Amino acid sequence: MSHKTISPRPVRLASAWAQSVAIPRHGMWVRRVASVAANGTSTLPPLDESPPPVPASLRPSPRRKLLRDAKPFSDFLTDTFHRQHDYLRISLTEKCNLRCIYCMPEEGVPQSPHRELLTTPEIIMLSSIFVSQGVNKIRLTGGEPTVRRDILPLMQQIGALRPYGLRELCLTTNGLALHRKLEGMVEAGLTGVNLSLDTLDPWQFQIMTRRKGFDAVMKSIDTIFELNRHGAGIKLKINAVVMRGINDREIIPFVEMTREKNIEVRFIEYMPFDGNKWNEGKMLSYSEMLDVIRDKYPSLEKVRDHENDTSKTWKITGFVGKIGFITSMTHNFCGTCNRLRITSDGNLKVCLFGNTEVSLRDILRKSNNDEPIEEAAFEAMKKIEMDRRQGLADASKPLGLAPNEQELLDVIGMAVKRKKEKHAGIGELEHMKNRPMILIDSGGQVPSMASMPNSWRTIRYTSTATSLVRAVPMHLLSQGLDINRQIRLFSSSHHHCKDDTGARLTHVSDSGSAHMVSISDKTPTKRTAKAVCSVKFSDETAFRLISENQMKKGDVLGVARVAGIMAAKRTSDLIPLCHPISISKVTVDLAAASPQPAKPGGPVSDARGNYRVDIEATVSCEGKTGVEMEALTAASTAALTVYDMCKAVDKGMVVEGLRVVLKEGGKSGTWVEGINENLPQP
């Protein structure tokens, strides 16, 4: 069978899917690597007979051909700050064979049901869509990607996208099992490995990863160097998360690795994710790490970085390798960020530190009756497309295996368009709810597309900060809706946390995320708060029954008093961002206030002209935080109990005037309602 050479330019999705490419497993893989590296093209079997070859003298030069075929970069992958996202990271699994202390909680994380995770055909389909739009670099991550059983055939299928514009296929791994699969990965087109290694001490390795395996990791590194000596051309980077007091003493030994080996060691500032017990004291900054290296090697000098590099690159004179610094906490690189992430359960994250995601999986599965797309369904889709290209099916249908390809692109475009200029700063990231690092590519449990009405097909939008799930009707996304309105549909808040005077909402970060305020540096003091409110009746009936203790439900004031005390002790369970505290005393006083006659025998009336129950709740503690919320919870719950017990006889009751009237203790001293200035603390 004849073969044709396909130019390396982006094409529509179906062209990549419709051709099953078998990577040859026989012979020397080095020959294949050298061949592809030399001409930048690969040969694929055609779907039909190819035309006679064009004489070499009539073919345009490669440069002229690339210029002729060049297309504007996809608008779907361009955000409002003109950043072009040509780099895609795909998580293949939530599982990992290590338990690194900065990556996940010690107890591990819950695993998603298998059905919720992307299948191999779904990963290939999404990869093809992004490559068709201009993505030229794909990195496979996890969890730990090498634990996925079908990692090699999956990489072969992604590697087959090279003729369509994919230039780099990379892997991020802990290296534990890499050496056993590395040669097959190179055959599949692997071009780069980022290997996570935080210590060169075998004993410290076991402490930081909670597992054994240092020797296996070093064997993987040696295997990479061995394959590179035979022409594999794998770019190796070692990523080390530096934590003060844990592995910061190993900065210089890591630097020494670059003396004689063509390797880049990248030091990463310790970053906060759920469950990794982050605190600023453990973080060693970029500038501090530079000072440590300069003290030993004064010839350290800056290397010019590429536009989209995440790291700041340095080099020591005479050393073969390089040193990099990933400075997410102190010097973000958001201005040139070109990265998108697909989680293992099919969510698209436009920012590593963002906590909003959209589900591509659910939209993709609409083409398969909301079922996971397994190999059989994938093969059927490919056959339909091949028949269509050969004129055996309806040629009027749009090019693409999935009938909702355009819908996917619309959703991707909307998500990219709402990407912010930069992520939150160091003061907000530590409080912002996000996935644990191990699950940065996986998500929580939310309703699937199959569980929603056909008339309300949705994008799944998850905000882990508030555990909200929002449904956006698909018909609003596909009929030319104004993009600003589309962006508002995705927004969880307007992120206003400061006013013009600089006043700040303490529980809201600059990025708009809710977080619990730290009280670790506060001094325990005696604290008291008093809150009041009233239940106003519409007539004297309920008041009379309460006064005579004739209400059918029993002693209204006594039950309400107990309810208020119980509620004060449960405040942290009811108010999400309240700290649980040890309360030393709660009192709830209720008084039935009746109107007084203006004169004997005259009409009943007081200054307020009503029948009511006045409620006063006082809460005290010895602690680091105030008890205003406990007092308010006690007063309001007591009022609601009165309302509940009296509603059968009075439908017109009103609960009013809930407020704090006294606060004592803490840094701000004493505050009393009606007095503008704080009184000094005794």
- The two structure tokens encoding residue 390: 């050969």
By three-state DSSP, how is residue 645 classified? helix
Q: Are strands 611-623 and 525-537 parallel, antiparallel or unpaired?
A: antiparallel
Are the CB atoms for 541 and 649 separated by under 8 Å? yes
Active site residue 521: no
β-pair partners for 526: 622
Q: How far is CA 545 from CA 211, 217, 482, 553, 648, in A?
A: 69, 79, 59, 11, 12
DSSP 211: S
Neighbours of 599 (CB within 10 A): 6
- The two structure tokens encoding residue 197: 């290694």
DSSP symbols for 527-562: EEEEEEEEEEESSHHHHHHHHTT--TT--HHHHHHH
Pairwise CA distance, residues 592 & 606, whole Å: 13
DSSP 346: S
Name the strand (E) or helix (H) holding 265. Answer: strand 264-269
Q: How far is CA 232 from CA 6, 35, 227, 436, in A?
A: 23, 11, 5, 34
Are the CB atoms for 146 and 192 separated by under 8 Å? no
CB within 8 A of 628, min separation 6: which ones?
Answer: 529, 531, 660, 663
By three-state DSSP, how is residue 679 classified? strand
CB within 8 A of 592, min separation 6: which ones?
Answer: 543, 546, 547, 557, 611, 612, 613
Active-site hit among 201, 248, 589, 644: 644
Pairwise CA distance, residues 276 & 204, whole Å: 18
**Active-site annotation, residues:** 644
